[in-house]
Amino acid sequence: MAEARKFQAIKGVRDILPPESALWNRVEQMAREVFETYGFGEIRLPIFEQTELFARSVGSETDIVSKEMYQFSSNPQFEDLRDARAQALRIFDSVARSSSQPLPGFFVASVREYVELIETKVNSGLLELNKEIEERLSSLKSVLSEAETEDEQKFWLDLRIKTELLKLSEDFALRPEATASVVRAYIEHGMHTLPGNVKLYYIGPMFRRERPQKGRYRQFYQIGAEVLGRADHPRIDAEVIEMLVRFFNSVGLTGTTRYINSIGCKQCRPKYVERLRAELVKVKDKLGADSQRRIETNPLRVLDSKLPNEQEMIATLPRIADHLCEDCKKHYAELRAQLALRGIAYEENWRLVRGLDYYMRTTFEIVAPGLGSQNAVCGGGRYDGLVELLGGPPTKGIGFAIGTDRLILSLQDRSLQDRALQEAASRDSAAAATSGSAALATTSLDVYVAWMGEKAYPTAMKTARMLREAGLRVELPASDAKLGKSLGLADKLGARHAVIIGENEVASGEFMVKVLADSEQRKVRDEELVGHLKGARNV
Ligand code: AMP
C-alpha cells in the first residue's frame, strides 16, 4: 500500500494566502493604474526563454547567470549531452580566466568525453544527426585528432569554438529577470517602428537559485517597466523615478530612500574599471574570496560588497564620478536637476553599480524601512545598447524592477495594509473603472502635452503630473518640438487631446486644449483643466 505522504512547497518557494493575497492584488492593480497614467501598456511575457538570451544580456559572469538560473533542455533525453558540453566549456573558460598554468589535458579529455557520448547515442540508434550537425561533429573530431601534436593558443580556441558549435539540444531557463525578455519581444515584434518611445510594464514571477531568507526567495515576484526608443534625455530617467515615487506613495510605502549613481558608458567605464582593477590587485590579500574572484571577472561588483572587513578599504578606492566622460557628466548633472525640479529627494551613492552587465549611465535603487539586510525594494537603470547586443537596431532604454515580495513585507511590517486598502477603496471610482481597460498605452492616451521652449517645460511637467494624479493617461515628451510635429505625434499616439503650453501660456495660466479628432480648440484655465478633460472623456 502506498505510504501517505505529506507534500510541502519546495525550499525558497511559498504560497500566498488570503487575506495577504488581497493586498497583493491591490498593489498590482495600483501599479497598473499609476503606470497607465504615464502611458505604459502591459506586456505579458513567457516564463521561460532560451538560456542564451539571459547569458548574452545579463552577462555570463554574473551570479544570476553563472549560478542561479533554473535550466532545462528542450529534449530531456539529451541532458547528459548538454551537461558534458557545458562541462567542457566551463573547464576551458576557467582555465582561460585564471592566471595559473593552463590544464589543456583536462579540457581535451572533457571534449573527448562529449564526442564519445554523442557517438554512443548515435550507434545505439538513440540519436539521429542532421547534415549540419554531422559536419560540425566531424570538424570537431578533426581538431581533436591534432590534440597530441599541437599546443598553440589558436588550437585551444578552435577546439572551444567547435565544441560550442556542436549543440544538440536547446537550453531553456526559467526567467531570472524580465528586461531581457522585454527587449527580445521589442525586437521580435519590430516595436522600434512604433511612434515615440515604447513604454511597457510587466508583472509576474522570476526565478533565481539564491540562498532563501526573509525577503529573498527562489520564486519571487517583480513589477517592472521599461522605456525603449530613440531618446535618452535625462528627463525620461527622472520621469521614471517620479512614477515610482507616485506608485510607492499610492500604496502607502513611505520613508523610502532613493539612491542614484552614474556608472558611465562604453567610452569612460572601461578606463575606470582598469583603474579600479589595478587598485584592487594591490590590496588583493585583504579581500574575501568573492571579491578576489571579482577582480578578474567584474571589479565593479567589489563595490557591492557588504562584508564588514572590506568596507574601510573600499572607501579608499577611486570613484567613477571622477572618471566620467563629458557626455556622461552632463547626463548625470541633468538627471539631478530634473529630480530637483520634480521635488524628488535622493541620495547619491557612488557604490551603486547594480549586478547586471547591461546597465550604463543612470543606476538607481530604492530602499524601504523594516526589511533588514534585504531592504532594496526596487532597482533599475539605463541600458542603451542592449537592444543592439541582442540583434536589434540602435535603441536607448531605461527600466526598473520592484520586488513585490519585499514591498508587501515592508507594508505589513508597518501595519499599513489597512490604510493602503482603505485609501484604495475610496479612490475615485471613475478613474478605477477606466484604468481596468487593457488597451495598449500607445493607443489609449487621453492627453499629449505639447510644450514649446525650455522655459515652458517646468509648467508642462507640473501640468502632466496634475493630470496623471487625476487618473488621466498623459504623454509628456522629453524634448520639445514645433507645434505641427508635436500634434502629428500626438495623433499617431492616439491621444484624444493636446494641451499646448508655450511661454505665453505659462505667463497667462491659460492653455490651449485641442481635440485631435476634429481640430476643435479652446482656451482653458489651469485650474479648470482637469475638470474639462475628464468631462470630455466621459462624453
Ligand atoms: P534585480 O532584478 O536584481 O535588479 O532586483 C530588483 C528587485 O527585485 C530587488 O530590488 C528586490 O526587491 C527584488 N528581488 C531580487 N531578487 C529577489 C529574491 N531572490 N527574492 C525577493 N526579491 C528579490
Chain segment 449-508, per-residue pLDDT in tens:
999 999 999 999 999 999 999 999 999 999 999 999 999 999 999 999 999 999 999 999
30 in contact with ligand 1, CB cutoff 6 A: no
Q: Hey, whose CA ends up nearest to atom 8 of ligand 1?
A: 403
Assigned C-alpha cell, 324: 566620467
With the most atoms of ligand 1 within 8 angstroms of its CB, the residue from 179, 208, 218, 222 to mutate is: 222
How many C-beta neighbours within 10 Å does residue 520 have? 10
Share above pLDDT 90 across residues of the chain, in percent, rounded to a whole number: 65
For helices 153-165 and 104-123, the axis angle rounded to 10 degrees is 30
Q: Among 146-160, 357-371, 492-506, 518-532, where is mean pLDDT lowest?
A: 146-160
Cβ proximity of 81 and 117 under 8 Å: yes
Sign, CA dihedral 33-36-38-41, equals: positive
Ligand 1 neighbourhood includes 304 CB (under 6 angstroms): no
**pTM score of the predicted model:** 0.84
pLDDT of residue 429: 36
Query: How far does residue 153's CA lie from ligand 1's centre (Å)?
Result: 40
Q: Whose CA is nearest to atom 14 of ligand 1?
A: 403
Confidence (pLDDT) at 441: 36
Asked if 163 contacts 90 with a C-beta cutoff of 8 angstroms, the reply is: no
Q: Is 244 touching ligand 1 by the criterion CB < 6 Å?
A: no
Report which ligand 1 atom has the smallest distance to the Cα of 407.
12
Give the H/E segment covering residue 198.
Answer: strand 198-207
For residue 266, pLDDT over 70 is answered with yes
Listed in sequence order, the DSSP H helices in 98-233 are 104-123, 131-144, 153-165, 179-188
CA angle 334, 338, 343 (to 5 degrees): 145
**439 or 311, which is more confident:** 311
Q: What is the mean predicted confidence (pLDDT) over 70-82?
A: 86
Mutation to probe ligand 1, out of 181, 219, 405, 408 (largest number of atoms < 8 A from CB): 405
Across 147-151, 419-423, 479-483, the highest mean pLDDT is recorded for 479-483
**CA 103 remoteness from chain centre:** 38
Minimum CA distance residue for ligand 1 atom 15: 403
What distance in Å separates the CA atoms of residue 160 and residue 162, rounded to the nearest whole number?
5
Q: Which residue's entry shows cell 505665453?
A: 504
- pLDDT over 90 at 236, yes or no: yes
Q: Can you spell out the DSSP letters for 472-537?
A: --EE--SS---HHHHHHHHHHTT-SEEEEE-HHHHHHTEEEEEETTT--EEEEEGGGHHHHHHHHH
| Mean of all residue pLDDT scores within the chain | 88
- Are the CB atoms for 463 and 529 separated by under 8 Å? yes
Predicted confidence at residue 537, as pLDDT, reads 67
pLDDT at residue 439, as a whole number: 29
Q: What angle do CA 260, 475, 524 make, to 5 degrees?
A: 125
Which residues, 6 or more positions from 534, have their beta carbon under 8 angstroms from its beta carbon?
A: 430, 470, 471, 472
Give the pLDDT confidence score for residue 369 in this predicted structure. Answer: 85
pLDDT at 36: 97
Flag whether pLDDT at 430 surpasses 70: no
CB contact at 8 A, 191 and 21: no
Is the CB of residue 222 below 6 angstroms from any atom belonging to ligand 1? yes
- pLDDT bin (cut points 50, 70, 90) of residue 438 is very low
**Å from CA of 403 to ligand 1 middle:** 5
For the CA of 366, the closest atom of ligand 1 is 10
The residue behind cell 532594496 is 376
Best of 179, 209, 213, 220 for a ligand 1 pocket test (most atoms within 8 Å of beta carbon): 220
Q: Find out whether the beta carbon of 175 lies less than 6 Å from any atom of ligand 1.
A: no
Is 31 touching ligand 1 by the criterion CB < 6 Å? no
* Residue with CA at minimum distance from ligand 1 atom 7: 403
Calpha distance 286→289 (Å, rounded): 10
Average pLDDT rounded to a whole number, residues 39-53: 96
CB atoms near residue 453 (< 10 Å): 13
d(CA 339, ligand 1 centre) in Å: 24
Ligand 1 pocket, residue 220 CB under 6 Å: yes
Ligand 1 centroid vs 29 CA: distance in angstroms? Answer: 20
DSSP run (H or E) holding 362: strand 360-367
Testing ligand 1's pocket by substitution, the residue of 374, 383, 400 carrying the most ligand atoms inside 8 A of its CB is 374
DSSP string for residues in 294-307:
HHHH-GGGGGG---
Contact 523, 512 (CB under 8 A): yes
Q: How many residues does the chain have?
A: 539
Residues 111 and 108: their CA atoms lie apart, in Å, by 5
Distance CA 502, CA 459 (A): 9
The rounded distance, in Å, linking the Cα atoms of 170 and 16 is 33
Average pLDDT over residues 371-384: 92
